[in-house]
């Protein structure tokens, strides 16, 4: 129990506060009009602890994963569901039978980083060598699975990248404490086609990577695995003596060429593509030295690295200095030259100190950004105070494999809190009228806490 004079843990309060019940609701009310051709599910996952032993020391990233989903068809929102992922420990605590085949309980956890669809199946993903889980269409847990599993004990990582043109799923998988990572290439059913083992001395935290038409781009920074910090739940520390590097490797495997960059942590990739001189990487970069057990308190920005392969150097520049994360783009342009990127403003509000404190509840700033990387301009869609909007996912108006003439021909979907109702809406924005009134607000019956990543999973 927290002492009366102790400020609440911001990841257990306000917009981050976990929900305590699983809900199923049908025929959700809608303000506006859902595009009639949309047919599929908007899914997003994040940490949602199933109780906490010590609230004061709780870490956001250690909450058991819960998936929130809305099913859309024929202009209607047919259902909303939220479900904890039934790892062995979650099933035990809920008093339910364990799902699927037995797992090694030492490395079993309810994944909480990413949820995605592949070949008609639904997967929840994490990192560090922990196993993915498969869900049913209705978000019930089937069990731990072997997506991307290799004989060396690696599997698909949370930030696997699907190339819609080659129909390949690429993953850069690391294991806590290992001195190697693996680039795993799968086909569009999840069958492993080939792997490349890459030396990673010192155990760097390689959370994300980038893909271009011919290259894989790796990030090796000063955040490294620390066995001494296992008991903290986040076994990483800053090694300030370590050089930050970006590596470029052929997609088919081979030698990695490393280039030094300024110290910091590469967070998430927006996109990467090739030019006549080399490789351009647009990414969210976290500054050196922030508390890595409190990622929400970091102040990341949108940066660009231009890797000149011939000259052997990297030019670094700031694209936008607002505090932002969760970058997304039209998936048809993955690994190719592109124009538009979308991020969420993630400047963290502190919790209120009392009833008279005018600050909003603990959470992120309530805005999404649309970056025009050709013109160098940014549009802002604000959701109003207390809206607590997270990652915005771009949904193409047509098939994802076909790059449209208008790259921003589509929608941006995100969960946003409605403070008047005390519950969440799934908001659908027109990407081409980004600052205008939402096309639709699907009214959920409950609150959706701020979480991590998700996807639109079409039915076809």
pLDDT 10s digits, 381-422: 999 878 999 999 999 997 655 566 799 999 999 999 998 899
Task: State what percent of residues in the chain have pLDDT above 70.
Answer: 94
Q: Does 360 score more than 50 pLDDT?
A: no
- Cα separation, 250 vs 272, whole angstroms: 14
pTM of the model: 0.94
In this prediction, residue 208 has a pLDDT band, given cuts at 50, 70 and 90, of very high
Break the chain into its structural domains and give their ranges. Answer: 10-458
pLDDT tens digits for range 152-200: 999 999 999 999 999 999 999 999 889 999 999 999 999 999 999 999 9
CA distances from 128 to 204, 207, 306, 356 (A): 11, 9, 28, 43
**Can you tell me the mean pLDDT for 74-102?**
96
**Can you tell me the mean pLDDT for 429-453?**
97
**CATH class belonging to 10-458:** mainly beta
195 forms bridges with which residues in the sheet? 184
Specify whether the CB–CB gap between 322 and 346 falls below 8 A: no
Structure-token pair, residue 157:
């990582």
- Cα separation, 321 vs 281, whole angstroms: 16
pLDDT, position 111: 96
Tally of CA atoms within 13 A in the half-sphere of 66 that contains its CB: 24
**Can you tell me the mean pLDDT for 312-326?**
96
pLDDT tens digits for range 246-299: 999 999 999 999 999 999 999 999 999 999 989 999 999 999 988 888 877 889
**Can you tell me the mean pLDDT for 233-244?**
89
Nearest-5° Cα angle at 13, 7 to 15: 135
Among 21-30, 47-56, 195-204, 305-314, whose mean pLDDT is lowest?
A: 47-56
**Can you tell me the mean pLDDT for 318-339?**
96
């Amino acid at each position: 129990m927290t002492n009366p004079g102790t400020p609440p843990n911001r990841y257990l309060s306000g917009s981050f506060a976990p929900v305590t019940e699983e809900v199923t609701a049908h025929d959700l009310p809608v303000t506006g009009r859902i595009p009639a051709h949309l047919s599929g599910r908007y899914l997003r996952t994040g940490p949602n602890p199933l109780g906490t032993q010590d609230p004061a020391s709780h870490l956001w990233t250690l909450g058991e994963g819960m998936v929130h989903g809305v099913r859309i068809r024929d202009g209607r929102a047919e259902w909303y569901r939220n479900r904890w992922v039934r790892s062995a420990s979650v099933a035990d605590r809920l008093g339910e039978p364990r799902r699927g085949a037995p797992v090694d309980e030492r490395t079993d956890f309810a994944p909480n980083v990413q949820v995605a669809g592949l070949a008609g199946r639904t997967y929840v993903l994490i990192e560090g060598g922990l196993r993915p889980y498969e869900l049913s269409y209705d978000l019930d847990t089937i069990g731990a699975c072997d997506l991307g599993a290799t004989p060396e004990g690696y599997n698909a990582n949370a930030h696997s990248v699907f190339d819609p043109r080659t129909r390949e799923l690429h993953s850069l998988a690391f294991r806590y404490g290992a001195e190697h990572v693996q680039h795993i290439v799968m086909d569009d059913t999840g069958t492993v086609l080939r792997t490349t083992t890459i030396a990673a001395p010192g155990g760097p935290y390689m959370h994300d990577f980038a893909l271009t038409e011919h290259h894989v781009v790796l990030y090796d920074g000063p955040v490294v695995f620390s066995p001494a910090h296992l008991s903290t739940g986040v076994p990483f520390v800053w090694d300030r003596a370590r050089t930050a590097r970006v590596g470029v490797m052929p997609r088919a495997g081979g030698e990695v060429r490393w280039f030094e960059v300024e110290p910091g942590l590469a967070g998430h990739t927006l996109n990467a593509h090739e030019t006549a001189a080399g490789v351009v990487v647009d990414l969210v970069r976290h500054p050196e030295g922030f508390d890595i057990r409190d990622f929400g308190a970091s102040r990341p920005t949108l940066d660009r690295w231009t890797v000149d392969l011939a000259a052997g150097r990297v030019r670094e520049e700031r694209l936008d200095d607002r505090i932002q994360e969760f970058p997304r783009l039209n998936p048809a342009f993955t690994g190719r030259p592109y124009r538009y990127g979308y991020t969420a403003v993630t400047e963290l509000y502190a919790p209120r100190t009392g009833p008279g404190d005018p600050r909003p509840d603990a959470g992120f700033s309530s805005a999404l950004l649309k970056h025009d990387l050709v013109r160098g301009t940014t549009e802002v869609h604000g959701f109003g105070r207390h809206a607590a909007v997270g990652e915005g996912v771009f949904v193409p108006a047509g098939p994802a494999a076909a790059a449209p003439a208008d790259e921003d021909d589509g929608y941006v979907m995100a969960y946003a809190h409605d403070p008047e109702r005390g519950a969440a809406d799934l908001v659908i924005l027109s990407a081409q009228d980004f600052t205008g009134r939402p096309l639709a607000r699907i009214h959920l019956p409950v609150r959706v806490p701020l979480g991590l990543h998700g996807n639109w999973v079409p039915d076809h």
